Structure 1
């Protein structure tokens, strides 16, 4: 089996294997990247005062999420470009996650469609992420397709009303479609392995990669055409839109991108079953606080909602930090993508096992039998 040593090691390997545009799309933040640096620094600053000799070694990592049992308090976050990191990237990620009994949230902007993913991994615990489109009626079609694929949990992203400008994406010509330039053509030529591994299999099976969940004839693709304006992100997204989705979705509704306590209260009022306290991996707004800093303020107003968190997960210790702050579970995006790019399916399998082992070791080192938020000494700089 391919060894997965750490987030940092897999990231270094991915940097060598991926074209620069794709690597930086995943890796970088926005603006001066102050929020990205702060995200990791604030999480690292959280200390846990261990209790010794009084606990039994940790055994089970099973966690209840929305009435289902997950193998660990971890869900795979929606990421738009897994299918450009590895051939059939979403399928590979989902197969590995399913072996570890972890739920997978498929992105609206995934390369693999929800129907194909269900066919390829029929026993997966699939969630669906929703970017509401300009034409809401077209979004109804996506909701119906998700329900038809057996999805019961809809994760609506509420912190992205437009594509935030990222100058390195412009510099690299990265997007859907790619903008070809002498610079990025030269970069692609330096990565023939990526073309052979990723582009050619997609080309032979389905043609050039495109957003598989978009309506037929409106799918932005690798080399064009540009997306239809009706399926651009809904720029005027409001709480009325959340209520509109709630009225049309019979399953569980989770709002992803909550950082303010008052927004958590509004989410509860709108009928959300859960929220994800998230800064979108510090990718959208360079003055956003670290989720670990605001999570304790959000919990008291969350009512009966399930509160999850994401952004900055690199190790099992980070999972424990978020759990002790009160999160029911975490979502992780960059870590499985680096494992996928550096080691394929075996790399993802190894990464999930390492994450679980590190979580168990952190529980044991902290002297924790059972997670009780606030019961241990937890502090920060």
Structure 2
């Protein structure tokens, strides 16, 4: 074999040097190829109490683990020899076109995760052509979100308080600010047992203990942002100095019934989604109440541990009410493949919560953009590999949900 030294002309087409990125944030985000990668960055950069509030769930966190396992246990059935040079990820959701089959879920305490908070989420969502949902427990006011993102599609998530007048005052503010959809959350008669928060002494403002200080030392950027921006508060609530669990138990109303849902429906001028449906029977009754969508959700595993897995419940609910209302889904979504699996299984739309917050903690607005970019790429790639070009082409035949657990037959 004859050998020779390569010339510069020989090497030029073989070697391409990447221009160095001078921004540490952009370097971190570019290296993140999955939501799990963003989660690891977020954990390194965020104090434990704030990170665990996002990352954790109720009791033994079984519901969350099962929801994620359900997506991991999907088996695909791809079609071959299809022209997938162009794919369309858009569809009409609650009367308006969205660019992707997922939106940003309502999350509380968001500015505690990272100082840009809800504004980063709302503006990133609008740039991507998807809706952003603001939580009752949000740390940016309804009006400030609307002002920061005047062209966005905003939804408002409502916890019905014991004080009905205060609840409906929020609803009125959301309507006046141009929010077009109300997410009525119905799985919170009391707060779930979020044990990580209890162990971390999660309070507003954060409780400083020796362990908290030690944990914060390697995370100076978070503290600089936290201490040099507007003091953290619930923009829709009065100030609070207790634990998160105490606040939720004070706010949530265990007396809420279907009559309250009908009352809300009468007063809200836009679309209504009921969030927290976990049985077929309740899905039927909610649909009969005249709402526009049911959102299958176990609150990200943060309320009743060992609750039904929404992804497993999805086909039965779609069969019963899918011709009557849109069926949406959240809980456990951590990749674009999860989104596509949910749509193939019958979901009209999905929501990302933790995935969005991991991006926010990893890099603020740019981190949220990266979250959406990762998920968009995964959705498009999965559609191409399945041999479909539109979301409407996805169908149950494309996916099998493998079950590790099944019901024990009655005695």
Question: Match for 1:168 among 186, 192, 196?
Answer: 196
Q: CA deviation at 1:300?
A: 1.8
Q: Is the 8 A contact 1:104 1:126 kept in 2?
A: yes
1:263 corresponds in structure 2 to 282
Matches within 5 A, 1:215-364: 218-220=238-240, 232-302=251-321, 303-364=323-384
Q: Is the 8 A contact 1:209 1:221 kept in 2?
A: no
The CA distance in 2 between the partners of 1:199 and 1:232, in whole Å, is 27
Q: CA deviation at 1:334?
A: 0.5
Gaps of 5+ in 2: 1-25, 404-411
The CA distance in 1 between the partners of 2:281 and 2:49, in whole Å, is 37
Gaps of 5+ in 1: 203-207
What TM-score do the two structures reach when normalised by structure 1? 0.92
- Establish whether residue 93 from structure 1 lines up as the match of residue 116 from structure 2: no
Q: Is the deviation greater in 50-59 or in 119-128?
A: 50-59
1:205 corresponds in structure 2 to none
Matches within 5 A, 1:152-231: 152-202=180-230, 208-214=231-237, 218-220=238-240
- Establish whether residue 369 from structure 1 lines up as the match of residue 392 from structure 2: no
User: Paired residues, what number?
Assistant: 371
Q: Is the 8 A contact 1:58 1:368 kept in 2?
A: no
Q: Is the 8 A contact 1:21 1:172 kept in 2?
A: yes
Q: CA deviation at 1:175?
A: 2.9
Q: Is the 8 A contact 1:256 1:275 kept in 2?
A: yes
Q: Which runs of 4+ in 1 moved over 6 A?
A: none
CA offset digits 1:283-334 (Å, max 9, x no partner): 1111112111000111122142111101111111111000001001110001
In structure 2, relative to structure 1, the CA distance for the partners of 1:295 and 1:228 (3 Å cut) is: closer
Q: Is the deviation greater in 241-250 or in 115-124?
A: 241-250
What TM-score do the two structures reach when normalised by structure 2? 0.86
- Establish whether residue 117 from structure 1 lines up as the match of residue 142 from structure 2: no
CA RMSD of superposed structures (Å): 2.0
The CA distance in 1 between the partners of 2:306 and 2:251, in whole Å, is 25
SS of the residue corresponding to residue 229 of structure 2 reads helix
The CA distance in 1 between the partners of 2:86 and 2:292, in whole Å, is 29
- Establish whether residue 56 from structure 1 lines up as the match of residue 84 from structure 2: yes
In structure 2, relative to structure 1, the CA distance for the partners of 1:228 and 1:46 (3 Å cut) is: closer
Q: Is the 8 A contact 1:75 1:330 kept in 2?
A: yes
2:400 corresponds in structure 1 to 378
In structure 2, relative to structure 1, the CA distance for the partners of 1:56 and 1:165 (3 Å cut) is: closer
Q: Is the 8 A contact 2:186 2:276 kept in 1?
A: yes
The CA distance in 2 between the partners of 1:310 and 1:221, in whole Å, is 31
Q: Is the 8 A contact 1:254 1:273 kept in 2?
A: yes
The CA distance in 2 between the partners of 1:180 and 1:323, in whole Å, is 44
Q: Name which one, 1 or 2, has greater alpha-carbon Rg.
A: 2
Q: Is the 8 A contact 1:178 1:223 kept in 2?
A: no
The CA distance in 1 between the partners of 2:233 and 2:242, in whole Å, is 6
